[in-house]
Amino acid sequence: MVAFRNHDASGRVSGLLLRSVLFTLLALGLIVVDKRYDQLGRIRRTLSIVVYPLELAVTSPFEGWSWLRKSVTTRDTLRADNRRLEQRLRDADFRLQRYAALQAENARLRALRNSTIGVGAKFIVGDIMDVELDALRERVLVDRGARDGVFVGQAVLDAHGVFGQVVQVDQRTCDVMLISDATAAIPVMINRNGLRTIAVGTGDPGQLKLPYLPINADVLKGDLLVTSGLGGGFPEGYPVGTIVGVNRDPVQSLADVDVRPAAALNRSRELLFVWVRRPASLPPPAKPVVVRQ
Amino acid sequence: MMRSRPVRRTPIALSALAALTIAIVPLPSVLDVLRPDFLVLVVLYWSIEAPRIGGLTLAFTAGLALDLLNGVVLGEHALALTLTAAWTTHLRLRLRVFSMLQQSLTIFALLTGYQFILFWVDGATGYPLTSMARWLAPVIDALVWPLMVGTLSRLHER
């Protein structure tokens, strides 16, 4: 590879081969270390502080615009909003009336069965930042990071259901993989009959699939899917989606089940990061579940 | 070609920063798949035009920045961009005398290699991407290349 040492009018590029080999080895080393050993977390967090201003610079005009729009809303809009929210609060209060009693009853029943999983969850709220990550992956950047105690594998919800899982934590931000990402999978349970299975993402934010149900499984259109809490990554009993289509092809041994996610995957702005209190006997939460296709 | 060196660092740094910013500005998802990899094109342009200043170091740093912003395994884009930039630098004397069409075709070939390295690292680290949209990127980048050359050459010939 002597040809790499070029002499020409613009001066020669000395040692191009040497330098490219050096940088290549460095990059390969980084990949291996980052993948195999979780040693790079601190380095990555330090480096991410360098790109954080850039992310902030990109997201701030959008935030400024939405602040401006909020501050010039008319009195009528505010009153309409207020009326709507009061209505919703009243509805929610009605439903909450029995909550305390049910919670106590639930705790009593759980005590009878010696099971305490999923009781008492702590959470914080984070905002999605207006920063585009990889166009081909279902991921969002959220303004909560290691500073706030967010960890890799943590469950993320929105107001309607399960949203995703934290895959990358930086100092002030984190990446959340949506449950609709093509590599995401989440342990679920059909609320009607307790049938457990796994929901996988399709890469389309409006659709999940249940690929592992046998053709004679008891699933119906309209069934609600909730998290089963198995695997330890997600808290138990949160809505994941509704079954919108069951396709039973007699030739296949598995049914083709389509699910519409409960969470507003491409509309939500505010997300909930959940901490599940778990008994000491359970292992720590698994890293993000990834299916190989 | 080799005039005052310190002056030429500024346009390189500025163009790379601008490209990095454009890379993360939110767009509707339809347009998002069509967004060219401006940073990669900028790096390749400087590896042809000023390989001693804007060469492999720039490529490695830019790749690392892409890794951090995309939240993928550290070193993925750095590896792909280093190799692509090294190959471009190696070809740069031929690239300079090429017509714009030939240049675009060469860029297309180089960027297909770039995407292939990304594809391979994605698979090897356990986050395989099955979407075919990835292979659209080299085509778009090759189409944008003449525009890129036009803009950047004005920047540094000033």
Listed range (A40-54, A187-201, B72-86) with the worst mean pLDDT = A40-54
| Interface mutation vs chain B, best among A127, A132, A139, A141, most B CBs within 10 Å | A132
- Measured between beta carbons, which residues in chain A are less than 8 angstroms from residue B13? none
| Interface contacts A/B by beta carbons within 8 Å | 140
pLDDT of residue A1: 32
Q: What is the pLDDT of residues A187-235, one digit of tens each?
A: 999 988 889 999 999 888 888 999 999 988 888 899 999 988 887 778 8
Confidence of residue A3 (pLDDT cuts 50, 70, 90): very low
Min distance A218 CA to chain B CA atoms (Å): 31
- Residue A214 DSSP symbol: B
Instruction: Please determine, for residue B60, whether its predicted confidence score (pLDDT) is greater than 60.
Output: yes
Confidence of residue A7 (pLDDT cuts 50, 70, 90): very low
The residues spanned by each domain of chain B are 5-24+33-157
Q: B87 with B109: CB under 8 angstroms?
A: no
| Interface mutation vs chain B, best among A39, A51, A289, most B CBs within 10 Å | A51
- Amino acid identity of residue B63, one-letter, is G
What mean pLDDT do residues B63-74 have? 84
Q: Tokens for A207?
A: 């659709």
Question: Which of the pair, B59 or A135, is modelled with greater confidence?
Answer: B59
Q: Which residues have C-beta within 8 Å of that of residue A72, sequence separation ≥ 6?
A: none
Q: Tokens for B63?
A: 């790749």
Instruction: Please determine, for residue B35, whether its predicted confidence score (pLDDT) is greater than 70.
Output: yes
d(CA B95, CA B89): 9
Instruction: Please determine, for residue A119, whether its predicted confidence score (pLDDT) is greater than 60.
Output: no
Instruction: Please determine, for residue A14, whether its predicted confidence score (pLDDT) is greater than 70.
Output: no
Q: With CB atoms and an 8 Å threshold, state whether A131 touches B26.
A: yes
Of B86, B107, B83, nearest in space to B95 by CA:
B107
- Measured between beta carbons, which residues in chain B are less than 8 angstroms from residue A44? 68, 74
Instruction: Please determine, for residue A95, whether its predicted confidence score (pLDDT) is greater than 50.
Output: yes
Q: B67 with B74: CB under 8 angstroms?
A: yes
Q: Tokens for B150?
A: 């036009």
d(CA A47, CA A197): 39
pLDDT of residue B4: 45
Q: Tokens for A267?
A: 């509309």
Q: Nearest residue of B to residue A49 by CA position?
A: B68
Instruction: Please determine, for residue B137, whether its predicted confidence score (pLDDT) is greater than 60.
Output: yes
- Measured between beta carbons, which residues in chain A are less than 8 angstroms from residue B83? 20, 24
Instruction: Please determine, for residue B139, whether its predicted confidence score (pLDDT) is greater than 50.
Output: yes
Q: Tokens for A85?
A: 């929210």
CA A226, A231, A236: angle at the middle one, nearest 5? Answer: 30
Q: With CB atoms and an 8 Å threshold, state whether B76 touches A293.
A: no
Of A210, A183, A215, nearest in space to A196 by CA:
A210
Instruction: Please determine, for residue A29, whether its predicted confidence score (pLDDT) is greater than 60.
Output: yes
pLDDT of residue A2: 33
Q: How many helices (H) and strands (E) does chain A have?
A: 4, 12
Q: With CB atoms and an 8 Å threshold, state whether B71 touches A175.
A: yes
pLDDT of residue A238: 86
Domains of chain A from N-terminus onward: 15-84 (no CATH), 119-278 (2.40.10.350)
Confidence of residue A13 (pLDDT cuts 50, 70, 90): low
Percent of chain A at pLDDT above 70? 83
Q: A271 with A165: CB under 8 angstroms?
A: no
Q: Where are the beta strands (DSSP E) in chain A?
A: 121-127, 139-142, 155-157, 162-169, 174-178, 185-190, 196-201, 208-210, 224-227, 239-247, 256-261, 270-276
pLDDT of residue A173: 86
Q: What is the ipTM of this complex?
A: 0.81
What mean pLDDT do residues A265-293 have? 65
Q: With CB atoms and an 8 Å threshold, state whether B24 touches A44.
A: no
Q: With CB atoms and an 8 Å threshold, state whether A133 touches B70.
A: yes
Dihedral sign computed on CA atoms, order A98, A104, A109, A113: positive
3-state secondary structure (DSSP) of residue A33: helix
Q: What is the CA radius of gyration of chain B?
A: 15
Listed range (A87-91, A191-195, A251-255, A265-269) with the worst mean pLDDT = A265-269
From residue A174, alpha-carbon distances to A26, A58, A170, A233 in Å are 25, 16, 6, 17
Q: A155 with A234: CB under 8 angstroms?
A: yes
- Measured between beta carbons, which residues in chain B are less than 8 angstroms from residue A19? 55-56, 86
Q: Which residues have C-beta within 8 Å of that of residue A274, sequence separation ≥ 6?
A: A121, A122, A123, A154, A155, A156, A157, A235
Instruction: Please determine, for residue B114, whether its predicted confidence score (pLDDT) is greater than 90.
Output: yes
- Residue A232 DSSP symbol: S
Question: Which of the pair, A279 or A148, is modelled with greater confidence?
Answer: A148
Measured from the Cβ of residue B50, the count of other Cβ atoms closer than 10 Å reads 22
